[in-house]
Structure 1
Amino acid sequence: MAYQPSKKLKKTVLGVGAGAVLVGLNAPAALGFAEERYYEYKIAQPAYQAKYGSWTQVDIPARYRTNAIHAALLHTGKVLIVAGSGNEQKKFDKGSFDTVLWDPRANTFKKIATPDDFFCSGHAALPDGRLLVAGGTARYELLDGEVDRPGGGMRVKNENPDKVVTLKKGTRFRSPAGVEYVSKFDVTVPKALRENKITYGKSGQMQPWQTTVTASEARVFVEAVEEGPQSVTDKQAQYEIVGLSGKDADNTYGLSEQITLDKQDFQGIRAAYEFDPTAEKYIPVDPMRKARWYPTLVGLDDGRVLAVSGLDDVGAIDPGDNEIYDPRTKKWTMGPHRYFPTYPALFLTEGGKLFYPASNAGYGPADQGREPGLWDLKTNKFKKIPGLADIDQTETSSSLLLPPAQDQKVMILGGGGVGESKKATRRTAVVDLKKDNPAFVNGPDLPQGTRYLNSVIMPDDSVFTTNGSTDYRGRSASNVLKAQFYDPKRNAFRDAASPRVGRNYHSEALLLPDGRVATFGSDPLFDDQQNTKLGHFEQRMEIFTPPALLKNRTGRPVLGAGPDTLTANRRATFATEHTDRITGARLMRPSAVTHTTDVEQRSIALTLTRTKDSLTVEVPDDRTLVPPGWYMLFVTDAEGTPSEAKWIKVP
Structure 2
Amino acid sequence: MAYRYRPSKKLKKTLIGGGALVVLAGLNAPAAVSFAGDKYHAYKIAQPGYKARYGSWSLLDVPHKYRVNAIHAALLHTGKVLIIAGSGNNQKKFDAGSFDTVLWNPADNSFKKIPTPVDFFCGGHSQLPDGKLLVAGGTARYEVLDGTVKRAGGGMRVKNESPDKAVTFKKGTRFRSPSGVEYVSKFPVTVPRAKREFKVSYAKGGRMLPWKTKITAGEARVFVEAAEKGPQALTTEAAQYEIEGLRGKDADNLYGLAQKLTTEKQDFQGIKEAYEFDPTAERYIPVDPMKKARWYPTLVGLDDGRVLAVSGLDDVGVVQTGDNEIYDPAAKTWTKGPSRYFPTYPALFLTKGGKLFYSGSNAGYGPAEKGRQPGLWDLGTNTFTRVNGLTDIDQTETSASVLLPPVQDQKVMVLGGGGVGESSKSTPRTGIVDLKKDNPAFQEGPRLPQGTRYLSSVLMPDDSVFTTGGSSNYRGRSASDIHKAQFFDAKTNAFRPAADPTVGRNYHSEALLLPDGRVVTFGSDPLFDDADNTKLGTFEQRVEIYTPPSLQGGRAARRPVLGEGPSQPDQRGRARFTTANPGAIVKARLMRPSAVTHTTDVEQRSIALDLTRQKDSVTVHVPEDRTLVPPGWYMLFVTDADGVSSVAKWIQVKG
Identity of aligned residues (%): 73
How many angstroms apart in 2 are the aligned matches of 1:557 and 1:587? 16
Contact 1:562 1:572 in 2 (8 A): yes
| Alignment-derived partner of residue 384 in structure 1 | 386
> Partner letter of residue 287 of structure 1?
P
How many angstroms apart in 1 are the aligned matches of 2:14 and 2:288? 85
How many angstroms apart in 2 are the aligned matches of 1:12 and 1:573? 81
Post-superposition CA distance 1:470-510 (Å, at most 9, x none): 10000011100010000011110000001111110000000
Task: Report 1:204-283 matches (<5 A).
Answer: 204-283=206-285
SS at match of 1:510: strand
What's the CA shift for 1:351?
0.7
Task: Report 1:56-71 matches (<5 A).
Answer: 56-71=58-73
- 1:561 equivalenced with 2:561 (yes/no): no
Task: Report 1:436-585 matches (<5 A).
Answer: 436-551=438-553, 552=555, 554-585=557-588
SS at match of 2:602: coil
Contact 1:291 1:312 in 2 (8 A): yes
2:645 to 639, 642, 646: 642
What's the CA shift for 1:206?
3.1
> Partner letter of residue 37 of structure 1?
K
> Partner letter of residue 244 of structure 2?
V
SS at match of 2:393: coil
What's the CA shift for 1:29?
1.8
- 1:632 equivalenced with 2:635 (yes/no): yes
How many angstroms apart in 1 are the aligned matches of 2:264 and 2:37? 52
1:195 to 179, 197, 216: 197
Task: Provide closer, same or farther for how the CA distance between residues 12 and 215 of structure 1 changes in structure 2, counting only shifts above 3 A.
Answer: closer
- 1:590 equivalenced with 2:593 (yes/no): yes
2:606 to 600, 603, 608: 603
Report the TM-score, using the length of structure 2 for normalisation. Answer: 0.97
- 1:420 equivalenced with 2:422 (yes/no): yes
SS at match of 1:501: coil
| Alignment-derived partner of residue 334 in structure 1 | 336
| Alignment-derived partner of residue 96 in structure 2 | 94
| Alignment-derived partner of residue 432 in structure 1 | 434
Task: Report 1:174-185 matches (<5 A).
Answer: 174-185=176-187
How many angstroms apart in 1 are the aligned matches of 2:296 and 2:206? 56
How many angstroms apart in 2 are the aligned matches of 1:160 and 1:462? 61
How many angstroms apart in 2 are the aligned matches of 1:442 and 1:417? 19
SS at match of 1:336: coil
Task: Provide closer, same or farther for how the CA distance between residues 85 and 554 of structure 1 changes in structure 2, counting only shifts above 3 A.
Answer: closer
> Partner letter of residue 239 of structure 2?
A
How many angstroms apart in 2 are the aligned matches of 1:209 and 1:12? 112
How many angstroms apart in 1 are the aligned matches of 2:357 and 2:128? 20
Post-superposition CA distance 1:547-606 (Å, at most 9, x none): 000041642100011110122111111111120100010000000000000000000000
Contact 2:185 2:225 in 1 (8 A): yes
> Partner letter of residue 109 of structure 1?
F
How many angstroms apart in 1 are the aligned matches of 2:391 and 2:103? 40
What's the CA shift for 1:159?
1.2
How many angstroms apart in 2 are the aligned matches of 1:3 and 1:153? 89
What's the CA shift for 1:209?
3.5
How many angstroms apart in 2 are the aligned matches of 1:539 and 1:154? 39
SS at match of 1:392: helix
With 195-204 and 572-581 compared, the bigger mean Cα shift is at 195-204
What's the CA shift for 1:16?
4.8
> Partner letter of residue 577 of structure 1?
A
Task: Provide closer, same or farther for how the CA distance between residues 191 and 409 of structure 1 changes in structure 2, counting only shifts above 3 A.
Answer: same
Post-superposition CA distance 1:7-47 (Å, at most 9, x none): 47776666554443333332222221111111111101111
Unaligned runs of 5+ residues in structure 2 are none
| Alignment-derived partner of residue 356 in structure 1 | 358
How many angstroms apart in 1 are the aligned matches of 2:23 and 2:544? 41
Post-superposition CA distance 1:144-164 (Å, at most 9, x none): 011111101111111111201
With 252-261 and 535-544 compared, the bigger mean Cα shift is at 252-261
> Partner letter of residue 388 of structure 2?
P
How many angstroms apart in 2 are the aligned matches of 1:326 and 1:64? 33
What's the CA shift for 1:312?
0.4
What's the CA shift for 1:2?
9.0
| Alignment-derived partner of residue 615 in structure 2 | 612
> Partner letter of residue 649 of structure 1?
Q
1:139 to 135, 138, 141: 141
What's the CA shift for 1:257?
2.7
Contact 2:445 2:493 in 1 (8 A): yes
How many angstroms apart in 1 are the aligned matches of 2:5 and 2:448? 66
| Alignment-derived partner of residue 50 in structure 1 | 52
> Partner letter of residue 21 of structure 1?
V
How many angstroms apart in 2 are the aligned matches of 1:568 and 1:213? 53
Post-superposition CA distance 1:137-181 (Å, at most 9, x none): 000000001111110111111111120110000011112221211
2:370 to 362, 368, 371: 368
With 21-30 and 134-143 compared, the bigger mean Cα shift is at 21-30
Contact 1:156 1:218 in 2 (8 A): yes
Contact 1:448 1:470 in 2 (8 A): yes
> Partner letter of residue 366 of structure 2?
G
> Partner letter of residue 249 of structure 2?
K
Contact 1:229 1:261 in 2 (8 A): no
What's the CA shift for 1:193?
1.0
- 1:289 equivalenced with 2:291 (yes/no): yes
SS at match of 2:432: strand
Post-superposition CA distance 1:272-317 (Å, at most 9, x none): 1111111111111111111000000000001000000000000011
What's the CA shift for 1:350?
0.4
Task: Provide closer, same or farther for how the CA distance between residues 12 and 247 of structure 1 changes in structure 2, counting only shifts above 3 A.
Answer: closer
Task: Provide closer, same or farther for how the CA distance between residues 204 and 526 of structure 1 changes in structure 2, counting only shifts above 3 A.
Answer: same
Contact 1:155 1:257 in 2 (8 A): no
Post-superposition CA distance 1:82-126 (Å, at most 9, x none): 000000000000100011111111101111111100000000001
How many angstroms apart in 2 are the aligned matches of 1:649 and 1:10? 82
- 1:345 equivalenced with 2:350 (yes/no): no
SS at match of 1:48: helix
SS at match of 2:591: strand
> Partner letter of residue 125 of structure 1?
Q
Contact 1:527 1:535 in 2 (8 A): yes
What is the count of residue pairs matched by the alignment?
Answer: 651
Task: Provide closer, same or farther for how the CA distance between residues 496 and 157 of structure 1 changes in structure 2, counting only shifts above 3 A.
Answer: same
Aligned-residue Cα RMSD (Å) equals 1.4
Task: Provide closer, same or farther for how the CA distance between residues 12 and 96 of structure 1 changes in structure 2, counting only shifts above 3 A.
Answer: closer
How many angstroms apart in 2 are the aligned matches of 1:176 and 1:4? 97
Contact 1:559 1:643 in 2 (8 A): yes
How many angstroms apart in 1 are the aligned matches of 2:86 and 2:556? 43
Task: Provide closer, same or farther for how the CA distance between residues 571 and 30 of structure 1 changes in structure 2, counting only shifts above 3 A.
Answer: same
SS at match of 1:389: coil
How many angstroms apart in 2 are the aligned matches of 1:3 and 1:435? 95
How many angstroms apart in 1 are the aligned matches of 2:255 and 2:21? 84
How many angstroms apart in 1 are the aligned matches of 2:352 and 2:511? 26
Contact 1:346 1:354 in 2 (8 A): yes
Contact 1:102 1:108 in 2 (8 A): yes
